Amino acid sequence: MPPESTCTTKPALAQERRAAVVQRQTRRCRWGVADEACGGHPGFLDGGAGRGLWSCAEGPHPTRVWEERPAPHIPPWRGRGRRPQRERLVAGAPEARPGLEVAAGLPTAAWTRQTSKAGSQGPMVAECAALRGRAVRDALPGPDVWVVWRRHRETGAWKTSLSHAPVDTVVEIHVRLSGMRWPIDTCCEDGKQRLGMGDDAVRSWTGWHPHRTLVILAHFFGVRLSLR
């Protein structure tokens, strides 16, 4: 491998690639979508907001949020030891709750049927709801976020997403964005099963890199041919 290539985590690599796109302005973009691998990292979400991007990323079910922003404070100095500098929640402040617990308490009217994506058997419809909440950052209230839930009555599956979109963003947009990363997964699946992306038998960087490049080009050719 090239000496400048280093091992890093997927969320860190995603942030690096996103920063490169924004800085070079090679692609016009407003949104960033991600699965739970990145959505479970606060740095990934906050990093997108810091670059002027809106995000819609799946998060782990235990992800906790506040429905109302609790009041933090710096404890008063008691005259001994170092003066407190770190904020804490005031006594009696409500605790952040897991997203699914918050969703279970929503009224029936908060849920609407939405189409998230086009599936192989037709449009995929689920019951969806969105609530404005406050993210948790180091046990303290963080940025205001949208918490978006999607549940399928037939399968019983739940999906929870966090979004840094503006306060006037409607639930339909969140649901549509949450389904837009699936075409990328489909591209990877087609590349592995139909175009040989998963069939490389090489051990070197030089052998691996051209193989992947040719698969990507073949996929692009196939898509263009299908459109024509």
Residues 195 and 125 in one domain: no
Is the Cα dihedral 53, 58, 63, 67 positive or negative? positive
pLDDT of residue 147: 92
Residue 213's domain comprises 181-199+206-222
In a domain, 139, yes or no: yes
Residues 134 and 189 in one domain: no
pLDDT of residue 59: 87
Number of residues assigned to the chain? 228
How far apart CA 163 and CA 130 sit, in angstroms, is 10
In a domain, 29, yes or no: yes
pTM to 2 decimals? Answer: 0.80
Residues 187 and 215 in one domain: yes
Q: Cα–chain-centroid distance for residue 175?
A: 12
pLDDT of residue 228: 95
pLDDT of residue 130: 93
Say which DSSP state 110 is in: G
Residue 117 tokens read as 């994506």
pLDDT of residue 122: 73
pLDDT of residue 221: 94
Residue 156 tokens read as 């019983």
Residues 191 and 149 in one domain: no
pLDDT of residue 91: 85
Ordered per-residue pLDDT tens for the chain, 228 residues:
778 878 888 888 888 888 888 888 887 888 888 888 888 888 888 888 778 888 888 888 888 999 999 888 888 888 777 887 888 888 888 899 998 899 989 999 999 998 877 766 777 788 999 999 999 988 889 999 999 999 887 777 888 999 988 999 999 998 888 888 777 888 888 888 889 888 877 888 888 888 989 999 999 999 899 999
